[in-house]
Amino acid sequence: MTTPAVSALVANSISLIRREQHPSGSYPACPSYPTYRYCWFRDGSFIADAMSRAGEVASAEAFFGWCTRVLTTRSDRIAALAGAGPGSPRVYLPTRYELDGGESVTPWANFQVDGYGTWLRVLVDHCARHRRPVAPYSAALNLTVDYLNAVGTLPCYDWWEEFPEQRHTSTLAAVSSGLKAALSSEALTSDRRGAAVATSGEIDRLVAADTRRHGRLGKWLGSDVADGSLLACLTSYGTLAVDDPVAERTVAAIRDSLVREGVYRYAGDTFYGGGEWINLTAWLGWYEVLRGDSSNARRRLDWIASQADGGLLPEQVTGRAQRPEHIAHWERTWGAVATPLLWSHAMFLTLATACR
């Protein structure tokens, strides 16, 4: 049974995301936190997915329109990357954009590809869910496939803007899932299908070989470290069936090392002391819904609702931080924990929708 606190936060989350969506269609990661007054393809795609699931079709499609404009205005850059040979200079697409779609001049850990795969998956799922045509986005979809075929298996920054020398499992899962989504649509041109099949197949083989070594998914290829982002591989990206033994062992490792009430990003995290993240907690709850564990899923939902302050959810909760001695450093550097984080509200909405 949904509690009044959960119902109120669902309504507030939808209203907040609607209100903060930029006229261009982009979603700011956090409107009140200067470092996050930008739009990421990854965060924005998960926000659009939540709004789509909540029936907010116009909001999701405004974001897809923004993605389309961002990509089509960079078609020459994508074409150059797609045609670049080994050792050629490469200028990658950013991960963080100004809300109007421009490129930020502020330095950032910019080479991340997970968001581009995620937007394809979310776009195609939305169009199937609401019986909407993919055709208006076909140019951007095809450009994204070109980009992912060119760079989708390279080492890059992970979800957390860290460890750029690694090939991260959740990033590879995003790329493979996005390419498969494009392949399932009528919008992908025939001349791109072979490359998309080859790239997604290569990724699937890499991940499968890695799980054979470790018995479960790891933070990056060759690692057996647990990371909260791996929960997306079992839900949003569909890398593994939820009852696959590898999935079960992955979640067991996350529960053993990263879960109190909420979910930590990874062991030893020092960002704002390494607290419990709202969005990752919602992902664990979503996995539990899919496994038929409604009792624990609702417990996650209620815990998230209890973390809202005036109807606003933070990025993370630091009351049980792993390394509390680091909190003051980040507060001096960037201010208090980002609140409201639209990604937190989005994943809460996704879990609330799944728990219905």
* HEC string for 184-215: HCCCCCHHHHHHHHHHHHHHHHHHHHHHHHHC
SS3 category, 264: strand
* Contact status, residue 205 vs residue 258, Cβ threshold 8 Å: no
- Catalytic residue, chosen from 56, 114, 158, 276, is 158
Half-sphere exposure at residue 250, Cβ-oriented, CA atoms within 13 angstroms = 31
161 catalytic? Reply is: yes
125 catalytic? Reply is: no
Residue in 275, 317, 282, 315 with CA at minimum distance from that of residue 301: 282
SS3 category, 120: helix
pLDDT of residue 89: 67
276 catalytic? Reply is: no
- Catalytic residue, chosen from 61, 210, 269, 315, is 315
Query: Token match 């939540």: residue?
Result: 50
Give the bridge partners for 316, in sequence order. Answer: 277
Give the span between the Cα atoms of 244 and 250, in whole angstroms.
10
Residue type, 336: A
* Contact status, residue 314 vs residue 338, Cβ threshold 8 Å: yes
- What backbone torsions phi and psi does residue 268 show, to the nearest 5 degrees? 90, 0
Helix axes 57-72, 114-129, angle to 10 degrees: 140
Tell me if the domain spanning 4-354 has CATH number 3.30.465.10: no
pLDDT of residue 82: 87
Residue type, 54: A
Contacts of 219 (CB under 8 A, 6+ apart): 158, 166, 168, 169, 225, 226, 227, 230, 266
- Catalytic residue, chosen from 161, 248, 293, 302, is 161
Tens digit of each residue's pLDDT, the chain (356 residues): 689 999 999 999 999 999 999 999 999 999 999 999 999 999 999 999 999 999 999 999 999 999 999 999 999 999 999 888 766 767 899 999 999 999 998 989 999 999 999 999 999 999 999 999 999 999 999 999 999 999 999 999 999 999 999 999 999 999 999 999 999 999 999 999 999 999 999 999 999 999 999 999 999 999 999 999 999 999 999 999 999 999 999 999 999 999 999 999 999 999 999 999 999 999 999 999 999 999 999 999 999 999 999 999 999 999 999 999 999 999 999 999 999 999 999 999 999 999 99
The strand pair at 96-97 and 39-40 is best described as antiparallel
In angstroms, the first-to-last Cα distance of the chain is: 9
pLDDT of residue 83: 85
Measure Cα distances from 59 to 14, 25, 134, 232 in Å. 10, 7, 16, 23
Supply the pTM of this predicted model: 0.98
* Contact status, residue 48 vs residue 57, Cβ threshold 8 Å: no
